[in-house]
Amino acid sequence: MAEQIEAEIVANVLKVVAEEGQAVAEGDTVVILESMKMEIPVLTESAGTLSKLAVKEGDVVQEHDLIAVID
Amino acid sequence: MTSVLARSQSAATESDHRDPLLRLSQLLDVDSVTSLHHPDDSGVLAVRGTIDGSPVFAYCTDATKMGGALGLTGTRHIVTAIDAAVREGAPVIGLWHCGGARLADGVESLHGCGRMFSAMTRASGKVPQISVVLGPAAGAAAYGPALTDVIVMAEQGRVFVTGPDVVKTVTGEEIDMEGLGGGNSHSRKSGVVHVTVGTESEAYSRTRRLVGFFGKPGLYDLSRIRGERNLRELLPDSPRRAYDVHPLVHAIVDAEKGGPVFEELQPKWAPNILIGLGRLGGHTIGVIANNPLRKGGCLDSLSAEKAARFVRLCDAFGIPLLVLVDVPGYLPGVGQEWGGVVRRGAKLLHAFAETVVPRVTLITRKSYGGAYIAMNSRSLGATAVFAWPEAEVAVMGAEAAVNILHRRKLAAAPEEEREALRLELVAEQQRVAGGVDRAMDIGVVDEVIEPRHTRRRLAEALAAAPAARGQHGNIPL
């Protein structure tokens, strides 16, 4: 089942760590967000392939915005 | 009017895993099960027994009879078990696999369910009540567990007020039982379930463990705390970097057979705050910790409600609290304000302020603003407040404070000098208002402790405080 990774908090996309098409393990960092003056890593909750990366560095994400899909 | 029930008696129905005696026999100690009533067709079996030798009461709906539906007699058995548990001060456990109230019994069954709810509420805060959902638990069978302290759900467990058919008829939404009320939905979306497990047998073993935390709080034995590690290593070097708080919690609580003695509750719901039962120096404690990895560790409506109910649960049963603080504040936003963060966040303030159990706070990195107060501050009655050397306690972060306090001064400065001035003001602000020294001067932090002494100092502080127990129920906040 595909895992949709959504933003939990309004944030700037500080750094994109993973690449589309890449294999990921559970707990890998996909992107690093910046919010509340903190750098918050966004981690995968399942292993698979990063089939979609919906953000780029400098983007602003709102709560529930899609960040990535793991298949 | 009791009869001893041996496991062999259930031989006739052994092939049916829904047999209530079989289920209760797996939960309770071998050969400890005694029925509280004569066998009947009520759809409920209520018993007394033991868990690890300590007395408990338990009841199980009988899914082999009318889907376990509850009538007047069945609910009466449940009330009998709960009232007996309160009289004897023993935990009471409900095993649920039940379609709700018996239609054939009409309003009489509703009346019975209401009396069962009343009994659960009377017992609330007096004896631990644990519900284990093994199959569908609908309507009254959903609200029964919801009134108890902890809900454990096995993989076949489903909880909903109205099932998929009614949902489809009324709203047109199509969803199956698992999607509507299965473990995934209730562990992540609704927060209804505290512990989600796989098999039934896993549900029983986790329930026995939970009963042990409540029923056998233990004695502090500080000699168990030896060879402490530098827990600072579990946090990132950069104070701006978020991290998962689980390794820190697991390193602070006691270990047993190589693993932490810790049962996290509602781990996937409102994950920006962590709650759970564990042991420190051999004694049961409740742990509450901000988790910076999720939402930066901010408090918000859901996390405040999650923590508030847990604080009141522990207080009601005399379980001391350990509060690990690394919090940037309350989560800002229109959604939070309109969603009632003022009303719902107030529950955490109320919960801590009324709590009488020993409760010790450790500020690891930062504690800002309203969230500082809410996380078991001195002002709300903390037994002791510790901080690690780098901790910052302030109304807000120094940078944010400078941008507000010195807005005009910064605006008036020439463009090329502004950044240097800002950095200077931030350093000054950190020195006078943000560091832990000021917090100690005014008495809101008692002591700065070295991270490697954390376990010992926390255990000493909890052990030194007189035991106490709040006199209140555990309303499902």
**CB A36 to CB B329 under 8 A?**
yes
Count of structural domains, chain A: 1
**CB A9 to CB B241 under 8 A?**
no
Measured in angstroms, the CA of A28 and the nearest CA of chain B are apart by 13
Q: Which of B238, B241, B328 sits opposite A36 (nearest CB)?
A: B328
pTM, rounded to two decimals: 0.93
**CB B296 to CB A41 under 8 A?**
no
ipTM greater than 0.90: yes
Domain ranges, residue A23: 3-70
Task: Give B358-407 pLDDT, tens digit per residue.
Answer: 999 999 999 999 999 999 999 999 999 999 999 999 888 788 888 888 99
Task: Give A14-64 pLDDT, tens digit per residue.
Answer: 999 999 999 999 999 999 999 988 999 999 999 999 999 999 999 999 999
**CB B298 to CB A36 under 8 A?**
yes
- Report how far residue A31's alpha carbon sits from residue A53's, in angstroms, rounded to the nearest whole number: 9
The helix (run of H) or strand (run of E) holding residue B160 is strand B158-160
Which of A5, A6, A8 to mutate: most B Cβ within 10 Å?
A8
Give the CATH number, domain containing residue A51: 2.40.50.100
In the predicted structure, residue B88 carries a pLDDT above the cut 50: yes
Residue in chain A lying closest to B330 (CA): A36
pLDDT of residue B12: 46
In this complex, is the C-beta atom of A9 within 8 Å of any C-beta atom belonging to chain B? yes
Q: Quick one: what percent of chain B has pLDDT higher than 90?
A: 82
- Report how far residue B474's alpha carbon sits from residue B9's, in angstroms, rounded to the nearest whole number: 38
Q: Which of B240, B294, B333 sits opposite A37 (nearest CB)?
A: B240
- Report how far residue A62's alpha carbon sits from residue B198's, in angstroms, rounded to the nearest whole number: 34
φ, ψ at B337 (rounded to 5°): -65, -45
- Report how far residue B157's alpha carbon sits from residue B182's, in angstroms, rounded to the nearest whole number: 6
The residues in A 51-70 lying below 8 A from B, measured between CB atoms, are 63
**CB A9 to CB B298 under 8 A?**
yes
Task: Give B237-257 pLDDT, tens digit per residue.
Answer: 998 999 999 999 999 999 998
Q: Which of A38, A43, A63 sits opposite B240 (nearest CB)?
A: A38
Q: Which residues pair with B368 in a beta bridge?
A: B394
DSSP letter string over B198-247?
Answer: SSHHHHHHHHHHHHHHHH------GGG--S---GGGGS-SSTTB---SHH
**Pairing relationship of beta strands B92-98 and B54-61 according to DSSP bridges:** parallel
Q: In chain B, what are the domains?
A: 20-212 (3.90.226.10), 219-388+449-464 (3.90.226.10)
Q: Quick one: what percent of chain B has pLDDT higher than 70?
A: 97
B117 vs B101, residue with greater confidence: B117
